[in-house]
Amino acid sequence: MVGVVIVSHSQKVAEGIREMALQMSAPEQKIIAAGGMADGGIGTDAFQVSEAIISANTGDGVAVMVDLGSAVLSTETAFEFLDEDLRAKVQIADAPILEGAISAVVEASLGSALAAVIATAEGARTLNKM
């Protein structure tokens, strides 16, 4: 099952999205929040992200959901700390973080492959609410 990592500048945002996504997920689905700095401040930490990716991986790879700006840079930096095997199986979804995470978790929990999980997450960009 593809794991999902949520990278936000805010620990609360990442934890909150995880909590919402868990409601939609299979029991064995890995969803790991990587939000904020170690001191609780606002920001992203590439080491925290790489650890989250490692914990989220059960062998099928990991889809990473990001919020703004440095979340992308920190995640790409985190990729450098992964071993090559895992690096080939991890991808950032270019999607809104909340809607994308929930879409990704639904798809991943069905047992879909990484490419499908990313595609579904990115499909959340065009979800209409009204």
Partner 1 sequence: MSGDLYEVISAVGETIIANRQMLTDLDAAIGDGDHGINMARGFEAVKAKLQTLETESDIGKVLKTVGMTLISSVGGAAGPLYGTAFLRAAASSQGKTELDVETIGSMLEAAIAGIKERGKATTGEKTMLDALVPAYEAFQDGAKTGKSVIECLKLACEAAKQGVEFTKTIIATKGRASYLGERSRGHQDPGATSSYIMLKALLEHLRR
Phi, psi (deg, nearest 5) at residue 96: -60, 135
- Token representation of residue 114: 């990484």
**Structure token pair of residue 105:** 């978790």
Torsion over CA of 23, 27, 29 and 31, rounded to 10 degrees?
50
Residue 9: CB minimum distance to partner 1, A = 8
17 included as an active-site residue: no
Q: Closest CB to partner 1 among 55 and 77?
A: 77
Please pick, from the candidates 22, 26, 42, 88, the single residue that binds partner 1 as defined by CB under 8 A: 42
Enumerate the H helices of 23-96 as residue ranges.
46-56, 70-80, 84-87
Q: Which helix (H) or strand (E) holds 64?
A: strand 62-66
Q: State in angstroms the smallest separation of the CB of 51 from partner 1.
A: 11
Nearer to partner 1, 72 or 116 (CB): 72
Which one of the listed residues 3, 5, 7, 9 is annotated catalytic? 9
Please list every residue from 86 through 115 that binds partner 1, using CB under 8 A: none
Q: Which residues bind partner 1 (CB under 8 A)?
A: 9, 37-38, 41-48, 68-70, 73-74, 76-77, 80
Q: What positions carry a catalytic annotation?
A: 9
